[in-house]
Amino acid sequence: MQIIFRVIDLRSDTLTKPSDLMRKAMAESVVGDDCYKEDPTVNELESYAAKVVGKEAAIFVPSGTMSNLIAENTHNICNGTPLPLEFIDKVCEIAKSNGFAVHMDGARVFNASLKTGQPVPRIVKNCDSVSFCLSKGLGCPVGSILAGSTKLIERAIRCRRVLGGGMRQAGVLAAAGLFALKENIERLHFDHKHTLMIASVYIKALGLSGGQTA
Ligand SMILES: *Cc1c(COP(=O)(O)O)cnc(C)c1O
């Protein structure tokens, strides 16, 4: 008898692959040269993404790293833990009263929103800019979004170009992003469910108790 092992690779939510429907949306995308702002699908993704996070404007970038670099980098020391809203608001208040802008590295802000029940626009309301990844649990092959004021995004377009992030017929990739924002946000619930299943087994195996696992 042959035993077939199915391997579930749990290294990261970056291992997601585009679904058949997402690939179909990519194949059918209308494209143009985005460096001239002539890619209708990129333009649509940018305005849709801005709306989803409640900011004036947004820009499609190749990676979260570039998105954070354009805005002011990230400390990323919280290990992806969703921070309490009061904490975020307080940080923004202190920054604002001292003349600083706040950028949120919101790579998984949709996960945080689903888990905490707070809408994304509310979470990022007091932040001047926010970055989030399309290429993780949302299932896109490539891409991140940086959102903020129209003025900030105008400068970001220039920064993206300088950093080598200007893309041509990027609508093929933006189509995946649009598909993800419309179809894949709800599916993050499954990731949370599976993570909790693994965490509870792990906690039991180690004889740990208590503690917050979400
Ligand atoms: C994944 C991630 C990034 C970087 O995104 P890339 O697209 O891999 O460059 C930045 N910050 C956080 C919190 C992330 O999870």
Q: What phi and psi values does residue 186 have, to the nearest 5 degrees?
A: -60, -30
Give yes or no: residues 142 and 93 share one domain: yes
Q: Ligand 1 in contact with 70 (CB < 6 A)?
A: no
Check pocket membership of 13 for ligand 1, CB cut-off 6 A: no
What is the tens place of the pLDDT at every residue in 197-207?
999 998 889 88
The predicted model scores a pTM of 0.93
Same domain, 157 and 95: yes
How many Å from the N-terminal Cα to the C-terminal Cα in the chain? 41
Q: Are residues 67 and 91 in the same domain?
A: yes
CB 98, CB 185: distance < 8 Å: no
Q: Are 53 and 146 in contact (CB under 8 A)?
A: no
Distance 107 CA to ligand 1 centre (A): 6
Q: Is residue 1 part of a domain?
A: no
144 & 62 share domain: yes
Query: Model confidence over 17-56: pLDDT tens digits?
Result: 999 999 999 999 999 999 999 999 999 999 999 999 999 9
Domain that holds residue 198: 186-214
Within this chain, do residues 87 and 41 fall inside the same structural domain, yes or no? Answer: yes
Any domain includes 105: yes
Helix ranges, 28-83 (H) = 40-53, 64-71
Give yes or no: residues 57 and 129 share one domain.
yes
Q: What is the CATH number of the domain that holds 73?
A: 3.40.640.10
- What is the 3-state composition of the chain as percent helix, strand, coil, each rounded to the nearest 5? 50, 10, 45
Mutate to test the pocket of ligand 1, among 65, 132, 145 (most ligand atoms within 8 A of CB): 65
